[in-house]
Structure 1
């Protein structure tokens, strides 16, 4: 079972943030972020919600399987795709179908 700290670390890395950058967004010290990520301390619900907000996430999605087993690079890719326009998503889908077709 993945720990809260590991989930936080994976999500932070998927957002390409350092512990210092995340701490700045949440207005707490970098050492607190490090303690949370290393399971030396457990954030209360309000603090966890603040951290997740800074990571463009929320409590429900954090505790669902979406983040449990998904590698950080895949989370980052998904988040990038979410920012694309509908037209760009169509083009990306066409490209992926082309690439997948070549591999089969």
Structure 2
């Protein structure tokens, strides 16, 4: 992970959600250029704003930094759905995931 990781990761996750940098900035209560400045490596978010960004993107902060997790929002959604499965259903889903690998 290098110094550009946070900027690049925010840009990738935002683009996957098909949200403009301007709209995301305004949705977070910031100036219209806020996210653009982060993505262009002119600024970094504060810790509090980073947490808001993760919430906005539907990503757990721990997953944000997992480089091998390409779609942390989708992973978070799947984990949430799996929590309501019975032990047998969970076992079947795990076997299916291993088979797909």
Unaligned ranges ≥5, structure 2: 83-92
Selected match of 1:18 from 14, 17, 20? 20
CA RMSD after TM alignment: 2.7
Unaligned ranges ≥5, structure 1: 98-104
The within-5 A match list for 1:56-67 is: 56-67=58-69
What is residue 53 of structure 1 aligned with on the other side? 55
1:65 deviation in Å? 2.2
TM-score (norm 1): 0.62
Whose RCO is larger (CA < 8 A, sep 6+)?
A: 1
User: More helix by proportion, 1 or 2?
Assistant: 1
Equivalent-residue separation in structure 2 for 1:49 and 1:66 (angstroms)? 20
What is residue 32 of structure 1 aligned with on the other side? 34
Tell me which stretches of 4 or more aligned residues in structure 1 moved more than 2 Å: none
Equivalent-residue separation in structure 2 for 1:66 and 1:49 (angstroms)? 20
1:66 deviation in Å? 4.1
Aligned residue pairs, count: 80
Q: Are the aligned partners of 1:26 and 1:51 in contact in 2 as well (CA < 8 Å)?
A: yes
Q: Are the aligned partners of 2:22 and 2:36 in contact in 1 as well (CA < 8 Å)?
A: no
